[in-house]
Amino acid sequence: MLEQLYDFRSIKAIIGLGNPGAKYYHTRHNIGFRVVDSFAERYGAQWGEVELMQYAGALLPDRLKPVYLIKPLTFMNNAGRVLPFLLMKGIKPEQILVVHDELEKPFGKLSIRFDGSARGHNGLRSIIGVVGNGFWRLRFGIGRPEKKSLVGDFVLSRFSQEEEEDIMRLIEEAIILTEGGGR
């Protein structure tokens, strides 16, 4: 299979994965929400709400039409329920970028890739269940606890004070990576 090349100009929707509610906002699992919130702030997008999601249309540089910024309000395990909205708008899976936390990468390590499995991530599993594997992912490394049995509590925990001090810089790097491509 030919390696798919990332081109931000082809992206029509950015979905940030997370859980709704203030008590989850600063947790590791919600880094996707924080990245799309920063996109919205950067481009002056205003959030609206429909049944299952918050969404904003941000007019990004070199675009004739806005890019949809999406925060599913379904909780992580049902994130894929927002996909019919995008599909009805004519957006294809390969035009979607999903921003998510990644246990398999050390804290702060970022990468963009196309395709792949859910690797145990329930938000990705839900999206794959609706549109298959053929979408882009911005993988935001959050690290991994030593014991597999601690993963559930770990992803719902807050970043350490030292990590939180780096978050805004890392979110900015995630936006730059998203806009400029690369791995």
pLDDT at 25 over 50: yes
Least confident segment among 47-56, 85-94, 150-159: 47-56
Residue that wins the pLDDT comparison between 169 and 66:
169
Mean pLDDT value across residues 19-36: 95
| Domain range 8-180, CATH architecture | 3-Layer(aba) Sandwich (3.40)
CA 97 – CA 130 distance, rounded (Å): 15
| Model pLDDT for residues 73-89, shown as the tens digit of each residue | 999 999 999 999 999 99
pLDDT at 160 over 50: yes
- Domain spans of the chain? 8-180
| Model pLDDT for residues 88-147, shown as the tens digit of each residue | 999 999 999 999 999 999 999 999 999 999 888 999 999 999 999 999 999 999 999 999
CA 134 – CA 159 distance, rounded (Å): 30
**Average pLDDT of the residues of the chain:** 90
**Active-site residue, from 26, 29, 100, 121:** 29
> Is 29 annotated in the active site?
yes
pTM equals 0.93
The confidence band for 2, taking pLDDT boundaries of 50, 70 and 90, is: very low
Least confident segment among 1-10, 116-125, 160-169: 1-10
CA 29 – CA 17 distance, rounded (Å): 8
CA 146 – CA 135 distance, rounded (Å): 30
pLDDT at 53 over 90: no
Closest-CA residue to 123 (of 33, 2, 6): 33
